Amino acid sequence: MSLALLEPPTNANPQTALTLSQKAPTFYKSQASWSLPYPLSLFVNNESQEKWQAYENIFLACLRTGDNQSAYLYLEELTDRFGKENERVTALRGLYAEATANTAKELEYVMKHYEEILVEAPSVFAIRKRRVALLRSLGRTAEAIGALTNLVDTSPTDAEAWSELADLYLSQGSYDQAIFSLEEVLLVMPNAWNIHAKLGEVIYLSANAKEAGPEQLKALSESMRRFCRSIELCDDYLRGYYGLQLTTSRLLGALQTTKKSQQVASDPVAGDLAPPSIDAVKKLNEVATAKLAEIVRKGTAGEKGWDGYSASELIAARELLDRGTQQIQR
Amino acid sequence: MADPVEQQIHRDPALFYWILLPITVVMILTGILRHYLSTLLQTTPKKQPLAKIREQRSLLRAQNLRGNHQQISKSSFERRKEVFIEGVKEGRFLADPENRGKPRANPMSDPAMMEGMMGMMKGNVAMMVPQSLIMGWINAFFSGYVIMKLPFPLTPQFKQMLQAGVGTRDLDVRWVSSLSWYFLTLFGLQPVYNFILGNNNAASMATQQMAQAQMGQNPMGGQEDPDKIFNAEIENLEVIDHRYILDGVEDRLLAKLGATL
């Protein structure tokens, strides 16, 4: 069984999801199992976790690409095997109902169904998450945040929920809350380089919102250090280098304008770190620019081992580099 | 030096058809039977109430905070620590704050606990009964037969293992007795079950034993008072000497990239 079938397609790019969903009918036929008459059937087993994992993934891919008929076929198989009461199956059924709902009224109906389930069994986290996602897609962000804070209160080690919460807060511009949520994710998964970079991004945004001065300088250097950590964990992470380039350029300006006396010195009680030295920032900027140029060059050419970057991120990186050279020319 | 003369024993070929094959087939069949029996007897684990989940995960969160505190800045760490300590003092994380400080009820009177133990008993019975029956059967009918010869030489230490039930001192180790064949199949049929029943079957001994080892340190003693565990966690958090992972990260990164550039 190919690897693509075993990975949830929610993070895959549209191309992969499409090929996966196009494979759906043939895969379904290939899985149509032969079986022996009753007493002999006890001796054969064509069950495997991989099979059901693949079923679920193809189901999700079909929903993403709008192939609702195939999706329904797979959903029925899953329901037959695990029963309607199964938590995962209920969530998948809800997902199907959400995807096939045409009017706002139908969506409301799905929501009501979720709430009914939750009244009976409040510990079904899959449905609680579906409800939050539905609230968010209906545009009721405040309610979604409320439901999600409730969820992370009962299950504070759920990294997925925390990062979704961070995203929601970020969309509302509440940077401090978003930073807090992302820190929670890091406490659960300390080596997630994408979360380190994401945290750097949020801190950078919050720094933009602040007035120029020691506070902003502090936030900028914190953000730069997050990107550094992200790159330290993952050598070729484009977003990490992008952020590093961006923050170091900003920092160079800020460090030069802020007077030495205004800079907050390292305070051992509060545990704040001193702002980085100009030399280090300069060097980091050079390194980031060079590496970013390399990634853009090789990634656009599609060289072997460099073809995993998403096209839009490459374009954004190129734009950032162009902006930098223009400034130098001026 | 001449090669030692190989022992020759003339076996009746019927031994193969009427002892070796039956034992093997019966062992495979019992394995399959055990698989289906334990699937039938399995009780679905009872869902935990929400408050209990919250209690466990809050504790886990505090442990995460202790283990991964380097990831966040000192001020964030102190803030989380204070909130946690305050919450524990108020008993905010406990599943049932009313029973705080009271001694725990006898675990034997707890119906949920009893159910768990019944499940364990059922598993063990499904495991033990067929085994002892078959062993009795083999002992009664086939004991003392030498039924096969291994195609490779072995050291004398294997004699006990391979020739159980045959009291001959000078017999070559390569000869296997029927009782020993039973033991060999008992422990060695795992791949066969995997082939027939799929990977996570209940027929295998090893997984059963593992499940037993995981049953917790003392199933009879009940759990500890959660309030005490939380207070112990506070002490753990308070002795932490905070170190921030972003401290000096730019120098580390430059050194690392400088080497590879």
Q: Within an 8 Å CB–CB cutoff, is residue A271 touching chain B?
A: yes
Q: Are B51 and B96 in contact (CB under 8 A)?
A: yes
- What 3 state SS string does chain A have? CCHHHHCCCCCCCHHHHHHHHHCHHHHHHHHCCCCCCHHHHCCCCCCCHHHHHHHHHHHHHHHHHCCHHHHHHHHHHHHHHHCCCCHHHHHHHHHHHHHHCCCHHHHHHHHHHHHHHHHHCCCCHHHHHHHHHHHHHCCCHHHHHHHHHHHHHHCCCCHHHHHHHHHHHHHCCCHHHHHHHHHHHHHHCCCCHHHHHHHHHHHHHHHHHCCCCHHHHHHHHHHHHHHHHHHHHCCCCHHHHHHHHHHHHHHHHHHHHCCHHHCCCCECCCCECCCCCHHHHHHHHHHHHHHHHHHHHHHHHCCCCCCCCCHHHHHHHHHHHHHHHHHHHC
Total of domains in chain B:
1
Q: Which of A45, A48, A175, A264 to mutate to test the interface with B (most CBs of B within 10 A)?
A: A45
Which of A198-202, A305-309, B182-186, B242-246 tops mean pLDDT?
A198-202
In A, minimum Cα distance to B244 occurs at A271
Q: Which two three-digit tokens encode residue A200?
A: 């750097």
The C-alpha torsion from A299 through A301 and A305 to A309, rounded to 10°, is 30
Q: Are A152 and B53 in contact (CB under 8 A)?
A: no
pLDDT tens for B71-101 read 998 889 999 999 999 999 888 888 877 777 6
- All residues of chain B having their beta carbon less than 8 Å from the beta carbon of residue A154 are 50, 53-54, 57
Q: Are B129 and B150 in contact (CB under 8 A)?
A: no
**Is A123 within 8 Å of B50 when comparing Cβ atoms?**
yes
In B, minimum Cα distance to A86 occurs at B44
pLDDT tens for A202-250 read 999 999 988 877 888 889 989 999 999 999 998 889 999 999 999 999 8
Residue B98 falls within a domain, yes or no?
yes
Is 90 exceeded by the pLDDT of residue B211?
Answer: no
Which of A141, A85, A154 is CA-nearest to residue A117? A85
Residue B35 falls within a domain, yes or no?
yes
Distance from CA of B154 to the nearest CA of A (A): 35
Domain containing B223 equals 13-260
More confident residue, A43 or B70: B70
Question: pLDDT at position B112, please?
Answer: 65
More confident residue, B151 or A41: B151
pLDDT tens for A74-85 read 999 899 888 888
Instruction: Tell me what percent of the residues of chain B surpass a pLDDT of 70.
Output: 80
**Would you mind telling me the total number of residues written for chain A in this entry?**
330
- All residues of chain A having their beta carbon less than 8 Å from the beta carbon of residue B196 are 43-45
**Cα–Cα dist A258/A278, whole Å:** 12
Distance from CA of B170 to the nearest CA of A (A): 42
> pLDDT band for position B31 (50/70/90)?
confident
The count of CB pairs under 8 A between chains A and B is 106
Distance from CA of A311 to the nearest CA of B (A): 25
Could you tell me which residues are beta bridge partners of residue B175? B149
Q: Are A31 and A5 in contact (CB under 8 A)?
A: no
* Of residues B53, B68, B252, nearest to A232 (C-beta): B252
More confident residue, B155 or A97: A97
* Of residues A188, A281, A283, nearest to B64 (C-beta): A188
Question: pLDDT at position B217, please?
Answer: 43
**Exposed (0-12), middle (13-18) or buried (19+): which is A298, by Cβ within 10 Å?**
middle
The amino acid at residue B229 is I
Is 70 exceeded by the pLDDT of residue B221?
Answer: no
Residue carrying structure tokens 């087993």: A45
**Is A156 within 8 Å of B58 when comparing Cβ atoms?**
yes
Distance from CA of B82 to the nearest CA of A (A): 15
Average pLDDT, chain B: 79
More confident residue, B64 or B120: B64
Chain B residues in contact with chain A using a Cβ-Cβ cutoff of 8 Å: 32, 36, 47-50, 53-54, 57-58, 60-61, 64-65, 67-76, 78, 196-201, 242, 244-247, 249-254, 256-257, 261
* Of residues A153, A186, A232, nearest to B256 (C-beta): A232
**Cα–Cα dist A205/A226, whole Å:** 13
Is 50 exceeded by the pLDDT of residue B219?
Answer: no
Kindly state the helix (H) or strand (E) to which residue B175 belongs, with its residue range. Answer: strand B175-177
Residue B7 falls within a domain, yes or no?
no
Mean pLDDT of B49-77: 90
The amino acid at residue A109 is Y
More confident residue, B46 or B160: B160
Phi, psi of B245 (to 5 degrees): -75, -20
Long-range contacts of A251-260 (CB under 8 A, 24+ apart): A251/A217, A251/A220, A251/A221, A251/A224, A251/A275, A251/A276, A251/A281, A252/A278, A252/A281, A252/A282, A252/A285, A254/A212, A254/A216, A254/A217, A254/A220, A255/A217, A255/A281, A257/A212, A258/A213, A258/A214, A258/A217
Residue B108 falls within a domain, yes or no?
yes
**Is B250 within 8 Å of A284 when comparing Cβ atoms?**
yes
* Of residues A47, A222, A280, nearest to B254 (C-beta): A280
In B, minimum Cα distance to A199 occurs at B72
Mean pLDDT of A271-279: 78
Is 60 exceeded by the pLDDT of residue B154?
Answer: yes
Mean pLDDT of A10-14: 71
Average pLDDT, chain A: 85
Mean pLDDT of B50-61: 90
How much is the ipTM here? 0.82
- All residues of chain B having their beta carbon less than 8 Å from the beta carbon of residue A183 are 71-72, 76
Query: How, if at all, do strands B146-149 and B175-177 pair?
Result: antiparallel
* Least confident piece of the model among A7-16, A48-57, A204-213, A312-321: A7-16
Q: Within an 8 Å CB–CB cutoff, is residue A122 touching chain B?
A: yes
Question: pLDDT at position B216, please?
Answer: 45
Question: pLDDT at position A86, please?
Answer: 85
Is 60 exceeded by the pLDDT of residue A106?
Answer: yes
* Least confident piece of the model among A239-253, B10-24, B115-129: B115-129
* Of residues A156, A284, A290, nearest to B57 (C-beta): A156
> pLDDT band for position B113 (50/70/90)?
low
Residue B2 falls within a domain, yes or no?
no
Is 50 exceeded by the pLDDT of residue B1?
Answer: no
Give me Rg for the CA atoms of chain A.
25
Q: Which of A90, A176, A187 to mutate to test the interface with B (most CBs of B within 10 A)?
A: A187
- All residues of chain A having their beta carbon less than 8 Å from the beta carbon of residue B251 are 280
Which of A133-137, A269-273, A274-278 tops mean pLDDT?
A133-137
Q: Are A30 and A55 in contact (CB under 8 A)?
A: no
Mean pLDDT of B239-252: 88
**Cα–Cα dist B14/A229, whole Å:** 73
Kindly state the helix (H) or strand (E) to which residue B205 belongs, with its residue range. Answer: helix B205-213
**Is A187 within 8 Å of B72 when comparing Cβ atoms?**
yes
Q: Within an 8 Å CB–CB cutoff, is residue A229 touching chain B?
A: yes
Instruction: Tell me what percent of the residues of chain A surpass a pLDDT of 70.
Output: 88
- Taken in order B43, B49, B50, B54, the sign of the CA dihedral is negative
Q: Which two three-digit tokens encode residue A155?
A: 């299950």
Residue B5 falls within a domain, yes or no?
no
- All residues of chain B having their beta carbon less than 8 Å from the beta carbon of residue A290 are 261
Q: Within an 8 Å CB–CB cutoff, is residue A13 touching chain B?
A: no
SS3 B147: strand
**Would you mind telling me the total number of residues written for chain B in this entry?**
261
**Is A271 within 8 Å of B53 when comparing Cβ atoms?**
no
- All residues of chain A having their beta carbon less than 8 Å from the beta carbon of residue B197 are 45
